[in-house]
Structure 1
Amino acid sequence: MVQREALEKLQTEGLRGLEGCRTLLRFRQRQSPELLELEILRGGRLHPDCLPTGHQPPCPRCGRRMFALPTVIVCTERFVDVCQHLGLDGTTFRPLATRASRSPRRR
């Protein structure tokens, strides 16, 4: 959840693809903040090494895997830089370890 002002600051800094969705929250105060949920689209797959051990194979019909993972949002370094530059709080960022990718073979 973010306040509209925080979302607008992120967008002003040039971060693209961020959409805020209205919430159905109710507050007792009259001057309650307008909170938006960030729409975060799934855009990748987990590497097989990241899957929990002993997991079952994917569903033969739909291909989904059924296991629980902690809620983690993977974002770009630019997103982190902008949030820190703007002084936005409420989120903890940690670097994600990566392996060196193999360069594509040339034919």
Structure 2
Amino acid sequence: MNWDNDEKIEYFLHSIKAESLCPQVRKVYNICRSSPFGKVIDPGLCAIHAQALIGCFEEARDIYPPCAHEFTVAKNCIKQGTESWVNFNSCETEVENYKKCFHPLSNKYSEYEGQFKTS
């Protein structure tokens, strides 16, 4: 898949947003995938949690309308910075503002515990 620069930036921002909205789902998935002996178990045993994690990420990609401005500002800042890669880090504030913008998804998955069972 060949992504243009805008698509890469958008995916980057969606990933940051999802990371901030889905930490509990990721934690449960990672716990499911680990064993007391430090070995990783069969991922199929954690399919229900993987599906929840993917679902959370997919939902995080939907830009909550009140956050559209912050998303656009962050995207435009990064876009300007990637043209020369000199000012890329100067977008930290804009990205943080988008990351911190309330999204109702934060309530949906904040108490996710899953069932710790095979699907």
What TM-score do you get using the length of structure 1 for normalisation?
A: 0.25
Q: Of the two, which has the highest radius of gyration? A: 1
Q: Which has the higher contact order (CA 8 A, sep 6+)?
A: 2
> Where is the strand percentage greater, Structure 1 or Structure 2?
1
> Where is the helix percentage greater, Structure 1 or Structure 2?
2
